[in-house]
C-alpha cells in the first residue's frame, strides 16, 4: 500500500510503501499548530486522501493563484507575495467524518494542500497558514506518484490514527 505520512513534530513528509519509507522530504506545517477548525490557520490531523491534482507540467516557479497559473506568472524571490503556492497542488480531503470531514472541520472546504513554496529557507519550521509546504522540486518529484485517492496521514504517531475506512 502506497501512502504519504506528514509528521508535524519532525516537519517531514514520508512517502511510504508496504511499511517502508521510500523518500523523506522536509516540509512546513502551520504556524498556529495542529487543528481542524475552519479559519484556524492550523494543519488538520488524521487521515485524508488526495482529492485533486493541479499543475501537472508547470515549471517549478509557476505561481498558482486560485488553483490556476494565470498570465504565466513566475516566482521571483524579491516578489511582494511572501507565501506563494508554486509548481503543483495536491488538494486534500478528510476521511474522518466529524474530525476532518464535514461541518466546521472539513479539510477540503478549508483548501488544505500539499504544495510547492517559494520560501524554501523556512522548510523544517512550522510557518504555513495551514497547508503543508514542500520545495518545488520535491512536490514535482512526488506528484507523478500521487494519484487521486492516495491516502495521506497527518500526525506524528500511527497508533493515534487507525487505518481509514475508505468506504466514506
The domains located in the chain, with CATH, are 28-154 (2.40.440.10)
For the full predicted model, state whether its pTM sits above 0.95.
no
What would the pLDDT profile of 107-122 be if each residue is shown by its tens digit?
999 999 999 999 999 9
Q: Are the CB atoms for 60 and 116 separated by under 8 Å?
A: yes
Tell me what percent of the chain is helix, strand and coil, each rounded to the nearest 5.
10, 40, 50
Give the model's pLDDT for residue 19.
84
What would the pLDDT profile of 52-70 be if each residue is shown by its tens digit?
999 999 999 999 989 999 8
**Average pLDDT of the residues of the chain:** 92
Question: How many whole angstroms separate alpha carbon 133 and alpha carbon 123?
Answer: 7
Residue 15, phi then psi, degrees to nearest 5: -90, 120
Q: Are the CB atoms for 36 and 132 separated by under 8 Å?
A: no
Question: How many whole angstroms separate alpha carbon 88 and alpha carbon 137?
Answer: 10
The alpha carbon torsion through 61, 64, 67, 70 (nearest 10 deg) reads: -110
Question: How many whole angstroms separate alpha carbon 31 and alpha carbon 27?
Answer: 12
| Distance from the Cα of residue 88 to its chain's centroid | 10
Beta strands in the chain (DSSP E): 2-7, 12-17, 20-26, 46-54, 62-65, 68-74, 85-94, 113-117, 132-134, 151-154
Amino acid at each position: 500500500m502506497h501512502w504519504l505520512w506528514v509528521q508535524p513534530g519532525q516537519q517531514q513528509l514520508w512517502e511510504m510503501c508496504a511499511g517502508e519509507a521510500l523518500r523523506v522530504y522536509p516540509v512546513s506545517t502551520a504556524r498556529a499548530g495542529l487543528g481542524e477548525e475552519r479559519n484556524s490557520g492550523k494543519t488538520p490531523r488524521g487521515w485524508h486522501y488526495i482529492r485533486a491534482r493541479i499543475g501537472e507540467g508547470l515549471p517549478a516557479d509557476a505561481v498558482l493563484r486560485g488553483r490556476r497559473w494565470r498570465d504565466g506568472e513566475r516566482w521571483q524571490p524579491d516578489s511582494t507575495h511572501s507565501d506563494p503556492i508554486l509548481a503543483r497542488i495536491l488538494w486534500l480531503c478528510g476521511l474522518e467524518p466529524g474530525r476532518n470531514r464535514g461541518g466546521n472541520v472539513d479539510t477540503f472546504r478549508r483548501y488544505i494542500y500539499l504544495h510547492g513554496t517559494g520560501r524554501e529557507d523556512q522548510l523544517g519550521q512550522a510557518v504555513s497558514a495551514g497547508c503543508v509546504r514542500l520545495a518545488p522540486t520535491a512536490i514535482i518529484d512526488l506528484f507523478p506518484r500521487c494519484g487521486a485517492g492516495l491516502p495521506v496521514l497527518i500526525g506524528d504517531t500511527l497508533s493515534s490514527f487507525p487505518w481509514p475506512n475508505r468506504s466514506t
